[in-house]
């Protein structure tokens, strides 16, 4: 079924890891960049993250995610480099604007951190199918209702996206203008949005009746459709990740 | 209104209210899509959250906001995950104000929009400070930030200004659009989500 997800189906050691371990890695790697805010160290974390992407055979798939944040990265370098309050040492200047070393250093830490964040998230979302992740979380005690909400969003959005082009065409054929001045374009927003909202709210009515009929509201213990997967080295990997974080904290306190 | 209402914070959610959450997230997404299709200078990506809060109260509004950003994080852009807190706060603010009767007319709805934008900015500022040294990655907001910083305004205040410039206009317009849509909805539809309805359960 067409769902909205970035998951890339491949067979690799990273794909076979427990989703919860990958989730732990995301949290740990971001936390580490704050525990030890040294560019060299963050670059190390980034290297490990990129290595995981390569092992997971999804490095190329992570690049589009990165381009989305390109503006933020550029903006960080430019604004911090030129205007950071601690700026003293001049690096170079363009006309009256001076680019400073301290600002560049601050920007370097920030940019590396953003890269680690995007990278480790990519490891998680590119190599884990949402179904597997939600099922794992429910088994660990998350409410099945929230699980249902998350999975149904991933199906609902492609459906809604399909109806939007229908609605746009229908309203255009009735003479709605989608080009022109700002006012025309603002006016066009309502005839486009109205049907989408009404449609989806009407659907929730039907959906909730259908769910109630199947015992969604019942409080008995739910069973699972899929057999539980076995994850080898699960505890070991989680232990290593937590160990490294603790080591980082100790290092920070000692130094 | 009657006196034996359930509290707006009741966590006993009806199936209709839970099913409203995915719909709200879908509406958020479509709102953003149409806004960029029409080249409007705002995001308009929280119409669903605001509508859900108006229809079903602060708990569902907050849930819709938080889950919206988590799902955005795992599907489109990881960076948006950290703003789950902001989205949740937007849902709570609108939900509480709607419950207290602040969406009676356009004027009041505008105030709801202003308050929501302010709350969003207040919550986003520390997040922006922690994660990006105070910037937002929005071109207008960052231009304003740069202007304030170069005039020796403290960094956190400049960051707050950055957020205000971005959030307040967007949220005012979002709340107003949601208000007009909400007023246009038939009663038979709006009634099924309310937590205080008097439908007896079997």
Q: Does some domain include residue B35?
A: yes
pLDDT at B11 over 80: no
Length of chain A, in residues:
255
74-93 in A: which are within 8 Å (CB) of B? 75-76, 79-80, 82-85
Dihedral sign of CA atoms A159, A165, A166, A171 in order: positive
Residue B200 placed within a domain: no
- Nearest chain B residue to A78 by CA: give it: B146
> Are the C-beta atoms of residues B45 and B30 closer than 8 Å to each other?
no
Half-sphere exposure of B88 (CA within 13 A, CB side): 11
Taking a contact as any Cβ pair under 8 Å apart, which residues of chain B between 33 and 62 contact chain A? 33-35, 37-40, 44, 47, 51
Residue A29 has pLDDT above 70, yes or no: yes
Which among A114, A123, A111 has a CA at the least distance from the CA of A54? A123
Minimum distance, in Å, between the CA of residue A239 and any CA atom of chain B: 25
Chain A residues close to B184, C-beta within 8 Å: 194
pLDDT given at position A94: 81
Q: What's the whole-number average pLDDT of chain A?
A: 89
Q: How confident is the model at residue A76 (pLDDT cuts 50, 70, 90)?
A: confident
In a domain? residue B8: no
CA nearest A193 in B: which residue?
A: B31
Q: Please give the full DSSP string across B42-83, using - where no structure is assigned.
A: S----HHHHHHHHHH-HHHHHHHHHHHHHHHHHHT-GGGGGG
> No. of H helices and E strands in chain A?
9, 2
Least-confidence region, from A5-19, A51-65, B184-198: B184-198
The residue with greater pLDDT, A90 or B93, is B93
Q: Taking CB atoms and an 8 Å cutoff, what residues of chain A touch B40?
A: 182, 185-186, 189
Give me the mean pLDDT over the B174-188 stretch: 92
The H-or-E segment that residue A107 falls in is helix A101-127
The partner residue sitting opposite B19, judged by closest CB among A75, A194, A211, is A211
Instruction: Indicate the range of A84-98, A137-151, B29-43 predicted with least confidence.
Output: A84-98
Lowest-confidence pick of A123-137, A234-248, B44-58, B183-197? B183-197
B182/A contact by beta carbon, under 8 A: no
Q: Is B19 on the interface with A (CB under 8 A)?
A: yes
pLDDT at B1: 39
Domain that holds residue B85: 15-193
Q: Which residues of A touch B81 (CB under 8 A)?
A: 121
Confidence (pLDDT) at B24: 96
Whether the full predicted model's pTM is greater than 0.90, yes or no, is no
Q: Where are the domains of chain A?
A: 19-135+230-254, 142-213
Instruction: Return the SS3 of A100.
Output: strand
User: In the 3-class helix/strand/coil scheme, how is B115-165 assigned residue by residue?
Assistant: HHHHHHHHHHHHHHHHHHCCCCCCHHHHHHHHHHHHCCCCHHHHHHHHHHH
pLDDT at residue B87, as a whole number: 96
Q: What is the mean pLDDT of residues B121-147?
A: 87
pLDDT given for residue B196 in this prediction: 58
Contact B134, B158 (CB under 8 A): yes
More reliable by pLDDT, A152 or A3: A152
Among A13-22, A211-220, B22-31, the range scoring the smallest mean pLDDT is A211-220
CB contact (8 A) between residue A157 and residue B29: yes
Residue A179, pLDDT score: 85
What's the angle, vertex CA B45, arms to CA B40 and CA B50, rounded to 5? 120
For residue B1, give how far its alpha carbon lies from the nearest alpha carbon of chain A (Å): 24
CB-hemisphere CA count at 13 Å for A11? 0
- pLDDT grade, residue A43 (50/70/90)? very high
What's residue B73's pLDDT?
83
Instruction: Provide the number of structural domains found in chain B.
Output: 1
Summarised one tens digit per residue, pLDDT across range A154-211 is 889 888 888 888 999 999 999 988 888 888 998 899 999 999 899 899 988 899 999 9
CA–CA dist A83, A97 (Å, integer): 9
CATH of the domain at B27: 1.10.1760.20
Q: Which pLDDT value is given to residue B2?
A: 40
pLDDT score of A182:
87
| Cβ under 8 Å to A: B residues 98-127 | none
Q: What's the CA gap between A120 and A126, in Å, rounded?
A: 10
CB contact under 8 A, B133 and A186: no
What is this model's ipTM?
0.85
Contact: B40, A154; criterion CB under 8 Å: no
Mean pLDDT in residue range B68-80: 84
Lowest model confidence (mean pLDDT) among A61-70, B20-29, B62-71, B113-122: A61-70
End-to-end CA, chain B:
24
Give the model's pLDDT for residue B4. 42
pLDDT of residue A1: 45
Please report how the helices A101-127 and B106-132 are oriented relative to each other, as an axis angle in degrees rounded to 10. Answer: 100
Identify the residue with better confidence: B12 or B179: B179
CA–CA–CA angle A9, A14, A16 (5° rounding): 70
Residue from A30, A75, A102 whose CB has the most chain B CBs within 10 Å, to mutate: A75
Dist CA A25 CA A241 (whole Å): 7
Our CA-based measurement puts residue B124 at a distance from the nearest CA of chain A, in whole angstroms, of 16
Contact status of B129 with chain A (Cβ, < 8 Å):
no
Q: What percent of chain B has pLDDT over 90?
A: 53
Q: Rounded to 5 degrees, what are φ and ψ at A11?
A: -115, 110
């Amino acid at each position: 079924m067409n769902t909205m997800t970035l998951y890339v189906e491949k067979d690799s050691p990273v794909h076979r890891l427990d989703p919860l371990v990958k989730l732990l890695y995301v949290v740990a790697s971001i936390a580490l960049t704050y525990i030890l805010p040294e560019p060299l160290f963050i670059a190390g974390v980034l290297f490990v993250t990129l290595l995981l992407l390569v092992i997971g055979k999804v490095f190329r798939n992570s690049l589009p995610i990165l381009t989305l944040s390109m503006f933020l990265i550029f903006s960080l370098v430019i604004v911090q480099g030129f205007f950071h309050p601690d700026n003293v040492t001049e690096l170079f200047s363009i006309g009256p604007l001076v680019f400073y070393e301290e600002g560049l250093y601050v920007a370097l830490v920030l940019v590396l951190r953003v890269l680690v964040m995007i990278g480790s998230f990519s490891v998680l979302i590119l190599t884990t199918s949402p179904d597997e992740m939600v099922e794992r979380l429910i088994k660990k005690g998350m409410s099945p209702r929230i699980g249902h909400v998350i999975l149904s969003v991933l199906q609902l959005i492609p459906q809604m996206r399909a109806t939007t082009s229908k609605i746009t065409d229908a309203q255009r054929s009735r003479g709605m203008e989608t080009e022109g001045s700002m006012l025309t374009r603002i006016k066009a927003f309502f005839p486009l949005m109205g049907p989408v909202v009404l449609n989806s709210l009407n659907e929730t009515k039907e959906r909730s009746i259908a769910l109630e009929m199947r015992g969604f509201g019942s409080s008995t213990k739910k069973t699972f459709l899929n057999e539980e997967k076995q994850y080898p080295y699960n505890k070991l990997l989680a232990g290593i990740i937590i160990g490294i974080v603790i080591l980082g904290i100790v290092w920070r306190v000692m130094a | 209104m009657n006196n034996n209402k359930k509290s707006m914070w009741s966590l006993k959610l009806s199936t209709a209210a839970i099913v409203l959450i995915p719909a709200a997230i879908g509406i958020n997404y479509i709102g953003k899509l149409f806004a960029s299709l029409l080249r409007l200078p705002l995001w308009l990506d929280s119409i669903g959250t605001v509508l859900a809060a108006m229809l079903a109260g602060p708990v569902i509004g907050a849930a819709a906001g938080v889950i919206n950003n988590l799902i955005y994080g795992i599907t489109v852009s990881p960076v948006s995950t950290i703003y789950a807190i902001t989205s949740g706060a937007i849902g709570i603010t609108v939900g509480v104000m709607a419950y207290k009767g602040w969406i009676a007319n356009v004027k009041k709805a505008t105030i709801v929009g202003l308050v929501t934008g302010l709350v969003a900015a207040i919550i986003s500022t520390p997040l922006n400070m922690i994660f990006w040294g105070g910037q937002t990655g929005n071109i207008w907001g960052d231009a304003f930030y740069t202007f304030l910083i170069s005039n020796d305004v403290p960094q956190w205040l400049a960051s707050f200004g950055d957020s205000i410039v971005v959030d307040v206009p967007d949220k005012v317009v979002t709340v107003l659009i949601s208000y007009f849509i909400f007023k246009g909805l038939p009663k038979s539809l709006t009634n099924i989500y309310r937590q205080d309805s008097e439908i007896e359960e079997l």
